[in-house]
Amino acid sequence: MRAAGILAACAVFATWGLVHGENFDRLSDADRAAFAERFEKEVWPMLSKGGKESCIGCHAVGKNNVTTLRFTGDARKDYAKILKEGYLIKGDAGSVLERIKTTRSDRKMPPGKRDRVPVDDVQVLERFINDMEAKQAKK
Ligand code: HEC
């Protein structure tokens, strides 16, 4: 019951974001397509490394954990989705990159005693985020 309550709260929160038109995707169609391709080649292998224990495995749609970050398993669709939802914002504490890089043990991803993401993989993601930020239209 308690878990159901928390999940319902998350659903309401996520819906709030959508209803209020939070869309963090300010790329041109051409840039979005190019970055989706790069995401699949460069970033997806890191996110899916480790199967069920990977970022994508634990954050799979339908998994009963308390998070609004959800991957369907389709790299390009998931790219468009998490870009829109704001998980790829440069420097945002709730973003994929910052949750990987954080020094706070209660915030780091993957959680708990799991090994940290290798530095090389973090750098690939960081470069990707920086390149994308440079192409995002200014508000
Ligand atoms: C063992 C399961 C598990 C794995 C593996 C895992 N996560 Fe998480 N993640 C969670 C849970 C549970 C939360 C919600 C609690 C929290 O925010 O710490 C979360 C929260 C997050 C959030 C914040 C989402 C939000 O709701 O705003 C991000 C971003 C994130 N994870 C990214 C990652 C990335 C990137 C990886 C791989 C490097 C990863 N996670 C691996 C379980 C997991």
**pLDDT tens across 53-110, in order?**
999 999 999 887 778 999 999 999 999 999 999 999 999 999 999 999 999 999 999 9
Indicate whether residue 87 lines ligand 1 (CB < 6 A): yes
Is the Cβ atom of 82 under 6 angstroms away from ligand 1? Answer: no
Residue 4 domain flag: no
Can you tell me which atom of ligand 1 is nearest the CA of 107?
18
- Which amino acid, 44? W
Q: In this structure, is residue 8 part of a structural domain?
A: no
Domain assignment present for 9: no
**What is the number of structural domains in the chain?**
1
DSSP letter at 114 equals S
Residue 6 belongs to some domain of the structure: no
Q: Which residue's C-alpha comes closest to atom 35 of ligand 1?
A: 96
Whether ligand 1 lies within 6 angstroms of the CB of 71 is answered as no
Rounded Cα–Cα distance for residues 57 and 55 (Å): 6
Are 25 and 83 in contact by the 8 Å Cβ rule? The answer is: yes
21 band by pLDDT with thresholds 50, 70 and 90: low
Range of the domain at 87: 23-135
- Our separate counts of H helices and E strands in the chain read 7, 0
